[in-house]
Amino acid sequence: MVTRDGARWRVAAAVADHHRPAPHLVAAAAVSGLAAGAMVPSLVVEVATGGDAAVPLAASAVAMGAFAAVVGRFFRFPDRVPLATRYEVLVVTALASIAATGLPFLLAGTFEGIDDVVVDATAAVSTSAITLLDVEDTSQGLLLWRSTAQWLGGLGVLVLTVHILPSLGVGGLDSGGGVATRSARRLSPRRGGNLTRLGTLYALLTVLAGAGFLATGVDPFDAVAHALTIASTGGFSTREGSFGALGTPTAEWVAIVVMFLAGCSLPLVYRTVRRRQGALLRSYEFGAYVAVVMVGTGLLWVSHPRGLEGVARIREALFTATSAASTTGAWSVAPSTWGEGGQVLLVGLMLVGGMGASLTGGLKVVRVLALLGQTRRELHRQLHDHLVQPVRLGRSTVSDAVLARIVGDVALTMLMIGVGMVLLAAAGAGIVGAGAAAVTSISLGGPVLAPDGPAGHFAVVDGFGRVVMAVLMFLGRTAVLPVLALVVTVSSPMGRMARRHSRRLRAPGTRR
Amino acid sequence: MTLAHESRRRPTTVGRMVGLSLVVVAAGQLVSAAVNAVDGDDGTAGLLASAAVVGAAGTAVLVSTRLPDRQLPTATFAAVTWAWLAASLAGALPFLLTGAIGWSHADDALFESVSGFTCTGATILPDIEALPAGLLFFRSTTQWFGGMGLIVLAVAVLPAMKVGGLELIAAEAPGPSADRLTPRIRETAQRLWILYAGITIAVAAAMVIVGESLYDGVTHSMTTVSTGGFSPYNDSIAHFDSLAVEIILVAGMIYCGANFSLHWQAVTGDWRTYWRVSEVRTYVAVLVGGAVVLAAAVGSVRDAAFNITTIVTSTGFATSDFTLWSSGPQLLLLLLMVPAGMTGSTSGGIKLMRAQVVVRAAIREVVRSRHPRALLPLRLGSTTVTEDIVARVIGFVLIYIGMLVAGGLAVTALGATALEGFSGAVSAIGNIGPALGTAGPKGNWLVFPRESRPVLMALMLFGRLEIYPMLLTLIAAVQLRSFKRVVTPLHPRARPRA
């Protein structure tokens, strides 16, 4: 029985009280069930095109569906979930998505070893565009499944934004946890239902992309597959030459618009669309995001790309800059067209990423702006020792607690990049290649500065290097902090100290 | 009370410091001329001429200025910046006047001089040994003088100005550090210079004892103690091919990459001070751990130990060519160039203590994301770091990294490859010396396009002076205000604290 409580839908009665609460299992099962359902179109396509992966796809769908059904029969998701459990659920969901994505490939024997399956599945789920697969050699159904998996990965980002990021205090929706800017205020007077709203927006964006591609003359299968990956800022393609191989320049304009929107803050877009306010346009962060894209386009335009003139040059520069800024990673022309300096710029754009609470990866424009504001304040404080000056982004103020959180997050990301760089170099990448691979992996971008073509990064490093890249992608997708929080607080001295403090705070009768 | 004839002099700290630095540089040039005359190379005339010019300029400035009675603390920033700039200009003259570098390449001479006074050690000379001995001696003295000024900055002046959280070293290692500027600075400086000169003599003596010439001993000890890294030989330390020399220099580098204030306390009796400071433990751990990892990757303990020491202490001497190693060890060295050595020493980089604070702040945020209401003070050893120091450290690190990235992008945009551009920027702002690629230990920095070298010079100066002095002087200059106006207090009736 399905009921509605305000904006929140409940599946009741099938969930009785004697169902045991098991958040991790239920989350995994939910992912599993969703994946099973989403696999059906791919199965249909595979059967229709007579590919040989029909049986693996069918088997995976059945297995995952059965798992979901069994778990749903006996377990339920508790109403209130403590913070640590929420992080654990996040990690479990990500792992389950990777497993679900990889299962058909494993059964179909597309890759040589299970580690390659896991690595490519991680790339799909984390919406990064670096891939091992030789797409010309793979059947249509599997290609569609990969793109669907990226789209579901985008859904995962939405869940992250609504449920996890507010607890982390940065870049989520409004909650007691502290929001960086006033632009991400509540989407509606009623509690709950944010996921539905944002999900609808996401679905609309995908439909818009698909319709646009179809209208500009892209082949239907490619249109659907690319709509799924462009809207999720994933960037996988069904062609070897990425987006450019589709052959329709007008489709690129559609893609530019979609990628740009995907890089905007979804709550802001929702408010602009629903209430017809200028929320998005008035946002300081939006101005900065537009500036980043424009400056990137301009710099790419002057960097003497090979063989591009006139309108094509502007279009390709804009496409590439938008693709990098939204960390999509789909390319219309090969990245090497832009030269080494241009590719360094692309890596930088990916690292900066899109707006906060969007579908993109990277550090997010809002955090970079907050850091710049803090730098400016420290410069002033060097002269005026006791200066009290808040950090402002446009009309909002960023509190010191949030700033500390941002700094910690960025510092951790940089540390991961540093460690990842050294490990990748040890695994066989060149110095610049290792740096580019590490940065683009954790920013969930696409292949840049890769030695020979898009699969370059993966091809150069050995198995260990590929796993390192997969770990970086995983960390980038799960916003670094939750995974580290789970790891660090198990037994470290700081964890022990924190637990001592928490226990003292939770003791009855204690007042803070 | 000012005397009658003194009242004609302008009271300016900047002028005083500039004059002092010019006179000191002139003295160095005079000594180098003497060395050149003894060695019999030509170029003595050029060295004497530059000594005369610089000495005259310096004396003129000194005679017409005096120290003001009350000085604003931020005048120190301007004074330090201008002193270093003046010294760099003065240090370029000998190269030009002796004909070693043509006047059409005056920017190269300036580059070499800046690399000297900032104790970086990056060179644009394609053939070092072709220069007269006295000129090479002068080159080493530029680094020695740079280190002398730096040691006072790092131990006393900058912590008092609370630049980038350096006041923490006073908390961790109480010793010669100034809480009030003028009276104690002179005393602190004298003590530090005694120690500094002592180590220079010790290293030089050790080199002579193992059989090298006095000239070699003195030139190399001057650049070791200042962790600069200039050598009169094209092959740098590989020229000696002597394990004894390498051991002496490694010991010297390790000692001079550590906090001089701790050294002073140890020398005056308190040996246990080393182990009380957490930064020392980090320093040792980085050196030993890095050496072990490199030795495993490269296969030679001698190479690994020397290269890790020279990079972490930001010296920049060269034995083997680490650009021939595989990319993993090279990247490790490149990443270690960012934190580099300890505070209170002549090393460059962000300094290990700040790196410690940043890492612990990041870990604290991880714990806070799990326990949002926990109270977690940040501790370094037994000292608690207050939140304003943490904020200062983070602000400094942000500006440093920002300059590094901006510099790397600028150099790459002006024509260098990505690898050389970014590694050059890291090396310049950290005052290390060698970069990766063609600008490595066996190469020189001529590989950087001519237009990009001013950017690298600027990075060297910014990094050496811990960014804020030069940045604020630049902002004040651009805004065409003197420092007094920039420091105008917020409340109209408030007065600046002297």
B364 contacts A512? CB cut-off 8 A:
no
How close is the nearest chain A Cα to the Cα of B258, in Å?
Answer: 24
- For an interface test with A, give the residue of B371, B405, B468, B484 to mutate (most A CBs within 10 A): B371
- A residues 280-339 lying closer than 8 A (beta carbon) to B: none
Q: Are B312 and B430 in contact (CB under 8 A)?
A: no
Q: Is B365 within 8 Å of A498 when comparing Cβ atoms?
A: no
Give B424 to chain A, closest Cα distance, Å: 13
Give the whole-angstrom CA distance, residue A23 versus residue B312: 48
A106 CA to chain B: closest CA distance, Å?
Answer: 32
pTM over 0.80: yes
The reported pLDDT for the residue numbered A406 is 86
Q: A405–B369: do the CB atoms touch at under 8 Å?
A: yes
**Which of B366, B401, B403, B411 best probes binding to A when mutated, by most A CB atoms within 10 angstroms?**
B366
Residues B472, B357 contacting (CB under 8 angstroms): no
Give the best residue of A168, A351, A383, A399 to mutate against chain B (max B CB count within 10 A): A383
DSSP codes joined into one string, B239-298:
GT--HHHHHHHHHHHHHHTS-HHHHHHHHTT-TTHHHH-HHHHHHHHHHHHHHHHHHHHH
> What does the pLDDT read at residue A183?
44
Q: How far apart are CA A74 and CA B366, in angstroms?
A: 35
Q: How far apart are CA A433 and CA B407, in angstroms?
A: 20
Residue showing tokens 């002592």:
B198
Q: Which of B370, B373, B490 sits opposite A489 (nearest CB)?
A: B370
Q: Does A409 touch chain B (CB under 8 A)?
A: yes
Alpha-carbon distance of A196 to A186, in angstroms, equals: 14
At A5 the pLDDT is 60
Type of residue numbered B460: M
Q: What is the pLDDT of residue A243?
A: 82
Q: How far is B366 from chain A (nearest CA, A)?
A: 5
Task: Encode chain B (498 residues) as per-residue pLDDT tens digits.
Answer: 455 555 677 778 888 889 999 999 999 999 999 998 888 778 888 899 999 999 999 999 988 888 887 777 678 888 889 999 999 999 999 999 988 888 888 999 999 999 999 999 999 988 888 888 999 999 999 999 999 988 888 888 888 777 877 877 766 655 544 443 445 777 888 888 999 999 999 999 999 999 889 999 999 999 999 999 899 998 888 888 889 999 999 999 999 999 888 888 888 887 888 888 888 999 999 999 999 999 998 888 998 999 999 999 999 998 988 888 888 899 999 999 999 889 889 998 899 999 999 998 888 888 887 777 778 888 887 788 888 888 889 989 999 999 999 999 999 888 888 899 999 999 999 999 998 888 888 888 989 999 999 999 999 999 999 888 888 888 877 775 555 555 544 455 555 554
Instruction: Single out the residue of B99, B126, B129, B95 nearest to residue B112, CA to CA.
Output: B95
Alpha helices, H only, B372-489: 387-413, 418-429, 453-464, 468-478, 483-486
Assess contact for A446 and A457: CB atoms under 8 A. no
CB-based contact, A506 to chain B, within 8 Å: no
Q: Sign (positive/negative) of CA torsion B76, B79, B85, B89? A: negative
Nearest-CA distance A80 → chain B (Å): 16
pLDDT in tens, B63-96: 888 888 777 767 888 888 999 999 999 999 999 9
**Beta carbons of B371 and A501 less than 8 Å apart:** yes
Q: Which residues of B touch A482 (CB under 8 A)?
A: 369
> How many beta-carbon pairs under 8 angstroms link A with B?
166
Q: What pLDDT does residue B370 have?
A: 78
Judge: A409–B365 Cβ closer than 8 Å, yes or no. yes
A-chain CB neighbours of B358 within 8 Å are 411
Taking contacts as CB-CB distances below 8 angstroms, the residues of chain B near A345 are: 409
**Would you state the pLDDT for residue A499?**
63
CB atoms near residue B187 (< 10 Å): 12
| A186 exposure class (CB count in 10 Å sphere: 0-12, 13-18, 19+) | middle
To the nearest whole angstrom, how far is the Cα of A484 from the nearest Cα of chain B? 6
Beta pairing, strands A8-11 & A2-5: antiparallel
Q: How far is CA B363 from the centre of its chain?
A: 30
Q: Which residues of B touch A497 (CB under 8 A)?
A: 374, 376
State whether residue B328 sits within 8 Å of chain A by CB. yes
Identify whether the C-beta of residue B307 lies closer than 8 Å to the C-beta of residue B220. no
Of all residues in chain A, the one with the smallest CA distance to B393 is A378
Q: Do B367 and A505 touch (CB under 8 A)?
A: no
Chain centroid to CA B143: 9
**Contact residues, B window 370-429, toward A, CB-based 8 Å cutoff:** 370-376, 391-392, 394-396, 398-399, 402, 405, 409, 412-413, 417-419
**pLDDT profile of chain A (512 residues), mean per 10:** 57 58 88 91 88 87 92 85 84 91 88 85 89 81 91 88 72 40 54 78 93 90 91 86 80 92 86 77 86 93 78 90 92 83 90 88 87 88 80 80 85 92 88 90 85 68 87 88 73 59 52 42
Q: Which residues, other chains included, contact B196 with Cβ-Cβ below 8 Å and sequence gap of 6+?
A: B147, B148, B151, B225, B260
Nearest to B362 among A387, A408, A489 (CB): A408
A501 at the B interface (CB within 8 A)?
yes
